[in-house]
């Protein structure tokens, strides 16, 4: 277990013991969508913004490994499961890699996506058990991405999903925000492993996003795992920096909103200057 403890210490912020994760593994499911077409540039922006960990698939991690300026500063969680939006059953995630392969590629952790309440639930739960056993053997941290597909954001079902992840050996569990702080507290009351909140669909509302992050952190969340609301932002490095500092308690909600506003105004002024020159 020494290896797992060492790798977890690299992922979790030393002082806050929380984590800001940005998944950019969406290419396997949705293709080269906006924000991750040039994924190397995006990775650099996320690292520049101070992100604690980035979730990627193995081919992307292999490409990133060619660039020491990225690998020396970044921390990477390799995602092991996948489905595509082209499938007749897009909720059925299948394993496409292993913990051993993640070790070979230099990952700091691995993640698996489980969709509960689907016809393929039992296969995905079985896969989670297999990966958990491999993580124990290799000393690799495991994040379980647990989603409830029947009710979506029912707090009792999300609490069940989080508990399932812990009981099967996950070190971190990622779940949907149930919609209220009271319901979120039900979820973290039933587990002892870190709970991080998923970013969900693109909001196009920075104030709402930061309000949710601030609320869940104050309520006891161990961090966030936000993809599209970060990498599809007009300034990924800025929103990454703001969210990361908010998660770690380095800024409050008011300051974080001010930082976004100032950065947006500067970006607009720069754009106007370029167009007029």
**Active-site residue, from 18, 108, 174, 177:** 174
The answer to whether 197 touches 224, Cβ cutoff 8 Å, is: yes
User: What residue spans of the chain are helical by DSSP H?
Assistant: 2-11, 27-30, 39-48, 58-64, 68-71, 99-105, 121-138, 155-167, 181-189, 206-219, 228-231, 236-247, 253-276
Strands 94-95 and 81-82: antiparallel
CA distance 95 to 20: 25
In eight-state DSSP terms, residue 38 is: T
Burial (CB < 10 A; 0-12, 13-18, 19+), residue 66, is exposed
Question: Catalytic annotation on 100?
Answer: no
Question: Catalytic annotation on 25?
Answer: yes
Among candidate residues 105, 78, 104, 90, the one with its CA nearest the CA of residue 23: 78
Q: Rounded to a whole number, what is the largest CA-CA distance in the chain?
A: 61
**Active-site residue, from 147, 171, 177, 214:** 147
**Active-site residue, from 25, 52, 127, 171:** 25
Question: Catalytic annotation on 39?
Answer: no
Catalytically active residues, by annotation: 25, 147, 174
């Amino acid at each position: 277990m020494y290896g797992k403890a060492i790798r977890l210490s690299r992922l979790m912020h030393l002082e806050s013991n929380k984590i800001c994760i940005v998944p950019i593994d969406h290419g396997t499911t949705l293709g080269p969508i906006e924000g991750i077409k040039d994924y190397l540039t995006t990775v650099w922006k996320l690292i520049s913004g101070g992100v604690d960990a980035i979730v990627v698939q193995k081919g992307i991690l292999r490409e990133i490994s060619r660039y020491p300026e990225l690998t020396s500063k970044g921390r990477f969680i390799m995602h092991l499961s996948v489905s595509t939006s082209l499938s007749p059953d897009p909720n059925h995630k299948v394993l496409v890699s292993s913990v051993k392969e993640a070790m070979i590629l230099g990952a700091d952790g691995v993640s698996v996506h489980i969709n509960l309440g689907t016809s393929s639930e039992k296969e995905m739960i079985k896969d989670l058990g297999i990966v958990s056993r491999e993580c124990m053997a290799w000393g690799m941290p495991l994040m379980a991405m647990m989603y409830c597909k029947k009710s979506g954001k029912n707090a009792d079902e999300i609490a069940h999903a989080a508990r399932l992840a812990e009981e099967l050996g996950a070190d971190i569990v990622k779940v949907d925000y149930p919609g209220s702080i009271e319901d979120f507290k039900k979820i973290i009351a039933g587990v002892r492993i870190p709970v991080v909140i998923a970013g969900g669909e693109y909001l196009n509302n920075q104030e709402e996003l930061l309000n949710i992050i601030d609320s869940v952190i104050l309520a006891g969340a161990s961090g966030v795992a936000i993809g599209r609301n970060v990498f599809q932002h007009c300034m990924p490095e800025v929103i990454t920096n703001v969210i990361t500092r908010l998660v770690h308690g380095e800024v409050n909600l008011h300051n974080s909103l001010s930082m976004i506003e100032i950065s947006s105004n500067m970006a607009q002024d720069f754009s106007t200057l370029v167009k007029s020159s």
